[in-house]
A and B are shown apart, each in its own frame.
Chain A
Amino acid sequence: MQVQSMFFKESASKKLNDAVLQKAMKKAKSKFVDGRAASVATIDNWEDIRTHAAALRDRVIANLDAYLIEFEKNAIRRGSVVHWAETAEEANAIIVEIARKNAVKTVTKSKSMVSEEISLNDALEAAGVKVLETDLGEYILQLAKEPPSHIVAPAVHKSKEQVAALFVAHHHKPLLTDISAMTREAREELRAHFLAADMGISGANFVIAETGTTLTVTNEGNADMVTTIPRIHCVITGIEKVIPTLEDFATLIRLLPRSAIGQSIANYLTLTTGVKQANEQEGPEQMHIVLVDAGRTKLLGDDMQSMLRCIRCGACMNHCPVYQNVGGHAYGWVYPGPMGSVLTPTYVGIENAGDLPNAATFCGECQVVCPVKIPLPDLMRKLREKQFDLHLRPFSERFAIQVWAFFVKRPVLYSFASRMGARLAAWMGGREKLIHKLPGIDGWTDGRDMPAPEGKTFKELYRKKYASRKTNP
């Protein structure tokens, strides 16, 4: 996916004034936030599960090579072919080659964010392969020619009316107003494609080392159709998705749907282990598993390593006050919200996503709801440190910090400067005691007044009032 993250500020500004988006975001917030809270409240040892899951993911990441090799061995044992892709280009080339070798003309696809990272659909279309997204949200966006704005609910930014209009334009049927009727129509449209596709492509929420299984969590059942009907099944996923055992999956699945949308369990857990065996009736003749790095190994041994714990539930964005107000597209790449503010600069270069680590108040909600306890604010701060050290923020910002630093380290000068500042700003506040415009902090005063200081600093008032007191302990 093309990176637009350098335009975060401008894009966010547009989104703040997009009435349809704003309405959709409000609706989503109550669904995701209240839903999660209610479902988490029914688990009495939620915190223990989080702690366990974080440790489990850490253990995997610390031994990533070993678990991946174990996964590969067991996947091969069950007849799968395992491919390793270091870059996006390599991953695309591998899948295009699989399609070419097998004369694949049509592909049905269940949701995969990694495929968005590498723009897989574009690569396949360029090779003459027709790709159809079958996750309802992704299907809608494919019709609208838009990227997803959320990792779990890709079309969350769209209104019912917008979707209805898209269906009329593409299905050539009468306008519908009822959501379940619209869903039924999409299902009917997709059915024939499910049955006819030469190859199915799915992502994987996890891959399990001990069994060589790939695993997809959906609510629509489309992954079942994609993984079982076509003669070839191709899985594409990030290398960090490996977990040791099926039992570990049992732990993580307690967290994932609850964190994502407040569901105790998802409607479909699709586990696929290898090709159709001699004694089996169903399943693909070929199964390919493409394990993608595309920047992930760069995080190993780095400050950002804990980001690899992520299980892609979307809770951090659902709860983020910045995301809630600007939506996912503003972030300009595949991953929005706090996890995106860490992943995007890390994967596509911090110089291309300079505002993202700064698009946070460090309110800490993301960290509190993260099912695998990723310290997202700390990671964003680490990225800010990198920006500061590499002089990647605007000069004015750096200069302001240097000036501030000069004074706070020198108490006498600081007292003097703050006394002057307090007086000047109090004078600017006038009788109303409000400053309407303050050059240099227009970002504040464009939308808010600045309540004026009282006029004297605490230090000087204290000294006057308690002249006899010692001021140092």
Chain B
Amino acid sequence: MKVGLFVTCLVDLVRPNIGFATLKLLEDAGCEVVFPSEQTCCGQPGYNSGARELSQELARKVLAEFKDCDYVVAPSGSCSGQVKIHYVQDLFRDSPDAVERKEFEKLSAKWFELSDFLVNVLKIKSLPAQFSGNVTYHDSCAGLREIGIKQQPRELLAKTGCTLTEMNDAEKCCGFGGTFSIKLGEISTRMADNKCVNIAVTGADAMVGGDLGCLLNIEGRLRRQGDKKTRVYHFAEVLAGMTDSAM
């Protein structure tokens, strides 16, 4: 089974550890993982800024890079939503090129968010690592509402032996929203604040999520408020036993 790894532009730039944790999880489960080195970005920042043609160009680039893979896996619900939903249902929905449309449908069908792939495709029974501690999980919006990521990461976290304490409004947006976090920073910060309050109430040692954008936003606000204690991890880092190498 040839699995293409799409690390996402944020993971590539900011936290490669998440990429290596993803790689380890897939390889430990017996996948032949390939990493197309030409990959840059799924195009979402441009797409959500109104640069439609540019995002179509990037979509074609992604399509070409993963053409020969049986599956593609990304440690992000947001980029996965972009590829699985927006490429097909919006960017190329009315494309006059039926062949290309078909190709994007195929890409959508073989593309998986990491936790979804581990649970529903690989159906993995055991994980490389144990994790002791009290964690709380933030549901990132696109993963949750666009592609139905909810139970998968929780199921996997349970296998590590950690305690999961649900926070209030776990499904509420943390305020990241890509460029929104810069364009309307004050509102975005308040939304992050609300999230930090809900995290604090749980008393969790670590806040875990599945999208690096949200993690940076939440961690950035926690640290600014003086919370140096609450760890912020991508679930891949927890599952792969690679939290030590995370910041």
Contacts and interface: CB of A to CB of B under 8 A. Distances in A.
A358 B180 CA distance: 7
Contact of A409 (B58, B172, B182, B183): B58
A462 B14 contact: no
A419 to B, nearest CB: 9
B190 A16 contact: yes
Interface string A431-469: 001100000011110111111111011110111000001
A34 to B, nearest CB: 11
A404 B14 contact: no
A385 interface: yes
A411 B37 contact: yes
Interface string A316-352: 0000011001100000000000000000000000000
B142 A362 contact: yes
Size bin of chain A's contact surface: 35 or more
Given A12-B184, A397-B49, A472 B13 contact: no
B241 interface: no
Contact of A12 (B49, B141, B172, B186): B186
A385 to B, nearest CB: 4
Contact of B186 (A16, A361, A472): A16
Interface stretch (A250-258, A304-312, A386-394): A386-394
B66 interface: yes
Interface string A270-299: 000000000000000000000000000000
Contacts, number: 210
B186 A453 contact: no
Contact of A384 (B11, B34, B49, B188): B49
B36 A472 contact: yes
A192 interface: no
B2 A361 contact: no
Nearest to B185: A443
Nearest to A440: B182
Contacts of B41: 408
Interface string A413-425: 0110010011000
Contact of A448 (B9, B52, B66, B217): B217
Interface string B1-32: 01010010101111111011000000000000
A180 interface: no
Interface string A205-223: 0000000000000000000
B173 interface: yes
Interface in B38-91: 38-41, 43, 45-52, 54, 57-58, 61, 66-69, 90
A444 B37 contact: no
Given A448-B221, A449-B220, A405 B51 contact: yes
A463 B19 CA distance: 13
Nearest to A462: B35
A458 B180 contact: no
A409 B61 contact: yes
Contact of B145 (A358, A363, A453): A363
20 contacts: A326-B187, A355-B183, A361-B178, A363-B172, A364-B145, A381-B48, A388-B49, A388-B52, A404-B45, A408-B41, A443-B181, A443-B184, A443-B188, A449-B219, A451-B216, A452-B247, A453-B13, A453-B14, A458-B11, A458-B20
Top 9 A-B pairs, shortest CB-CB distance: A361-B177, A443-B185, A447-B189, A388-B50, A448-B220, A384-B50, A363-B173, A458-B16, A364-B145
Given A9-B184, A401-B51, 10 more contacts: A384-B49, A401-B45, A422-B14, A442-B185, A443-B185, A447-B189, A453-B15, A454-B17, A456-B16, A458-B20
